[in-house]
Amino acid sequence: MSVTIILGTQWGDEGKGKAVDYLAGNFDFTARFNGGNNAGHTVVNELGTFKIHLVPSGIFYPRMRCLIGNGVVIDPAVLIEEIESLKQAGIKTEKRIFISPRAHLIMPYHKILDGLYEEAKGAGATGTTRRGIGPAFADKTSYNGLRWSDLADEKLFADKLQTQLGLKNKIIVALGGQPLDSEKILAEYRGYYATLKPYIAELYPIIEKGLRDKKKFLLEQAQGALLDPDWGTYPFVTGSTTLASAATAGLGIPPRAIDQIIGVTKAYITRVGGGALPTEIKDESATAKALQEVAATTGRIRRGGWFDAEVVHFSAHLNGVDALFLTKLDILSQFDEIKICTGYKFNGKRAHYYDLNAYQLEQVEPVFRTVKGWRQDITRARKFSDLPLQARRYVETVEKLVDVPIKWVSVGPEREATIKR
Ligand code: GDP
Ligand code: IMO
Ligand code: MG
């Protein structure tokens, strides 16, 4: 396969970093095409544990080249810090990371506006990561964005920044904030540009030649399909499209070049921030606590619930997922019984995810099937046959309900804790 997309099929944090790190060994390029540093992808391998936000998770393979596409919004300070921490772990970054000059910059006012909008919405807030993602994509769409290519021209960048600060400071001040100083930002961003300039390169010739030479590309989506602005639970979504199709515009890859789409899905489900999570366990029970996690980017609590086949079936088929990479099956080893949501009822009638808006989704009643647990440590299983019968049955049930083959089962965060079926 020449071009493969790795796609989260839930509300993010499915284990995309783990899946990319496991699969990338056979690839020449890994690339990010959407989102920004709202993403937090965890990789655990022989080099250590890494929580990465912008650099593609294939960076740990020495010959891999890593592309940050035009569809990504970049906070330069975060990227510099990330590159620094990779270097400190002994990972070479020069001539291995390539940043599209078309990628937009996250500016200080984007982060301030993100917070101001959230606060104004109160209980109706999206619960963003406050990294400036939404306002940066809004500026891109309304022709107000600043890009790396602008930074290459000092006067152009200074003029554009001046115009934007004229607009943004008015909003910030009206909402009770402090105006930003253009000279300070200018100096700061010139410094970032000087540091990152060696990494900035137009990706079109790199990708076009790579495709011609039959090089292999692994494209790493950020967020999850259900955080998509159109097909997710708007307005509890993210600022850029998260669908497989985003990879084409977000990198410059023809749709026809895509051979395979792998959907990453957790054996249960989590969500961080606002918005419905129909199978959430809302009580204070040990089960509820066992399915909660700590977010890699913000340290917030990820709400947890049982596997929801209604949404994963939808997102897998909406995106044309060919195979599933099921993660965190080991977490379910602690339960006597496990529930799987097979569909929803809304006002007493069966309803699908796509029939409902985000507010109606809050009110659905999940229909559960209860299956037996296996109550055994499975973290050392490396073949499907090593798994206890009930665990195999669970995998087969998920596969049947989602109607997509599960090709990989992950039983621990480490690269090697993976079963290929
Ligand atoms: P991503 O954003 O999709 O890359 O996912 P995150 O890295 O934000 O969250 C997934 C979490 O689950 C991370 O802490 C991973 O190290 C961890 N993880 C991934 N796969 C497994 C697994 O199979 N078992 C366990 N126990 N942890 C896993
Ligand atoms: P990865 O790539 C989980 C959520 C936020 C919030 C909403 C909008 O690690 O799976 P934003 O800052 O994007 O404007 O926030 O989207 N969100 C994520 N949730 N995983 C992510 O990324 C996320 N990126 C954004 O919590 O609800
Ligand atoms: Mg994450």
- Quickly list DSSP for 14-35: SSHHHHHHHHGGG-SEEEE-S-
> What is the DSSP secondary-structure string of 157-212?
HHHHHHHHHHHHHHHHHHTT-PPPPHHHHHHHHHHHHHHHGGGB--SHHHHHHHHH
The mean per-residue pLDDT over the stretch 104-123 comes to 96
pLDDT score of 298 = 86
Helix (H) or strand (E) holding 401: helix 389-402
- Nearest ligand 1 atom to the CA of 295 is 8
pLDDT of residue 297: 81
Which atom of ligand 2 is the closest one to the Cα of 224? Answer: 10
Residue bearing the CA closest to ligand 1, atom 6: 13
**% pLDDT > 70, the chain:** 100
Cα–Cα distance for residue pair 331/79, rounded to 1 Å: 32
User: Region 190-197: what's the mean pLDDT?
Assistant: 98
Q: Which residues of 324-354 are buried (b: 16+ CB within 10 A; e: fewer)?
A: bbbbbbbbbbebeebbbbbbbeeeeeebebe
Which ligand is nearest to the Cα of residue 15, counting in written order? 1
CA atoms within 13 A on the CB side of 85: 14
Q: Give 339 Cα–ligand 3 centroid separation in angstroms.
A: 24
The whole-number pLDDT of residue 249 equals 98
Q: What percent of the chain has pLDDT over 90?
A: 98
Predicted confidence at residue 110, as pLDDT, reads 98
Mutate-to-test residue for ligand 1 from 292, 327, 332, highest number of ligand atoms within 8 A of CB? 327
Cis bond before residue 235 (omega within 30° of 0): yes
Concatenated DSSP letters of 58-108: GGGSTT-EEEE-TTSEE-HHHHHHHHHHHHHTT---TTTEEE-TTSEEP-H
Q: Is the pLDDT of residue 74 over 70?
A: yes
Interval between CA 350 and ligand 1 midpoint (Å): 32
The one-character DSSP state at 147 is B
Band (pLDDT 50/70/90 cuts) for residue 1 is low
Tokens representing 116 are 């101001």
pLDDT at res. 178: 93
Question: Rounded CA gap, 304 and 372, in Å?
Answer: 19
CA of 181 to the centre of ligand 3 (A): 33
Q: Using one digit for the tens of pLDDT, what is the confidence trace for 325-375? A: 999 999 999 999 999 999 999 999 999 999 999 999 999 999 999 999 999
Catalytic residues: 13, 41
- Give the model confidence (pLDDT) of 262-308 as tens digits: 999 999 999 999 999 999 999 999 999 999 998 878 889 999 999 99
User: What's the distance, Cα to Cα, between the start and end of the chain in Å?
Assistant: 18
Single-letter code of the amino acid located at 401: L
Q: Residue 19 C-alpha to ligand 3 middle, in angstroms?
A: 12
Rounded mean pLDDT, 77-102: 98
Structural contact between residues 94 and 65, judged by C-beta atoms closer than 8 angstroms: no
Q: Over the stretch 202-256, which tens digit does the pLDDT of each residue have?
A: 999 999 999 999 999 999 999 999 999 999 999 999 999 999 999 999 999 999 9
Nearest ligand to the C-alpha atom of residue 35: 2
Residues touching ligand 2 (Cβ under 6 Å) are: 8, 12-13, 38-41, 126-129, 131, 133-134, 222-224, 227, 236, 238-239, 272-274
pTM: 0.97
**Per-residue model confidence (pLDDT) at position 295:** 87
The pLDDT assigned to 343 comes to 98
What is the CA(81)–ligand 2 centre distance, in A? 20
417 pLDDT exceeds 90?
yes
CA distance 24 to 43: 12
| Per-residue pLDDT reduced to its tens digit, 370-401 | 999 999 999 999 999 999 999 999 999 999 99
SS3 349: strand
Q: Whose CA is nearest to atom 12 of ligand 1?
A: 15
What is the total residue count of the chain? 421
Neighbouring residues of 190: CB distance < 8 A, sequence distance ≥ 6: 151, 154
- Atom 15 in ligand 2: residue holding the nearest Cα: 128
